Structure 1
């Protein structure tokens, strides 16, 4: 099984050329990166091959959510791209998550990618839970349940907000990867549940994803290094990552 890196830079660019030029121009070659829907749907597998050739560890963030057999076959194909981390929506249910893991095992020639399950997007809050998703439980309770369901069905970790990562670490043996990371004073944009790298470390996050804070910085390389340092540079507090 492949490993989870402590910090991933979200490549939220319109084109692969923009992404590769940004990494090269700001001396970020070889850092762990997250490739999301926007970039993957435009560039396809070629983007992944290009990043792997440049030495990047890749979290392919496509959040699969479909019937179990479709997810199994999709993961079988994604495993062949030699990415390091992939994910599904926990809301797809236990059978779907188990099928995703089987697909990765069937499609991986050697080590399979880590499988994560998204609990609730960081744009979700209690009001949305109640008025739009029509769930009559507190958000934190829903996240806990999804985490337990993910663990039962062989998932390696979850994607959750920092405020929920502590609970995930207390009640499961899963990795906790947390997006919604901002530096002190940073703008939240469309994410409602955000935190700094230092708080993420304190709450038990194993890994963080950072996008805008690096991408929009005057000196992206310096900010990337600052984030790594704030998230405890040696990462000895997370022995599972060593």
Structure 2
């Protein structure tokens, strides 16, 4: 979560903005070209979401950070991350970093799906599901055959090493597709999330004869019962 002071500083620094359709991107002076490229990619991503998401009422706001340090501090993500969503806004690294990104399509689809999911279901869902479902919402892919170690998966989503994060994102997407399958499909799961469940309600959501937690996460190991030597009178 960004500090109020950091948010004020960023607002002062990112004084210019560009708009494409329902998408607005704030940026530093001199970064209009990169901001326009990002805005166009975000707008295409907004329009590519499935109709049941309600893209016609989804407004997309984004910003190019003034530095990698500010991006990492505000998002809580590693400096090597490509984007993050903070307080309903997609935050990107500085323009000089974004300008080197070859394919903004997949990235912006993922981030706009984040915005849509948070707007629809609220902010209380676990990180692995938010990341995984944002991918499952916009692209097909493999479905996990069984539950995961959810704690380890969540930690790997925040790894500094991009290759570790990339594998974790793929596993989170496969796990989210497993949950969607058990719910009757992505659209059916989307409708179930309309209640904006808190974390406890999400984990306890019943899908068939199991809860979301039982479908998704390997059970934690039971505490070992201490063994005492046999009593001999």
TM-score, structure 2 as length reference: 0.23
More helix, by proportion: 2
Select the structure with the greater relative contact order (CA < 8 A; seq sep ≥ 6): 1
TM-score normalised by length of structure 1: 0.22
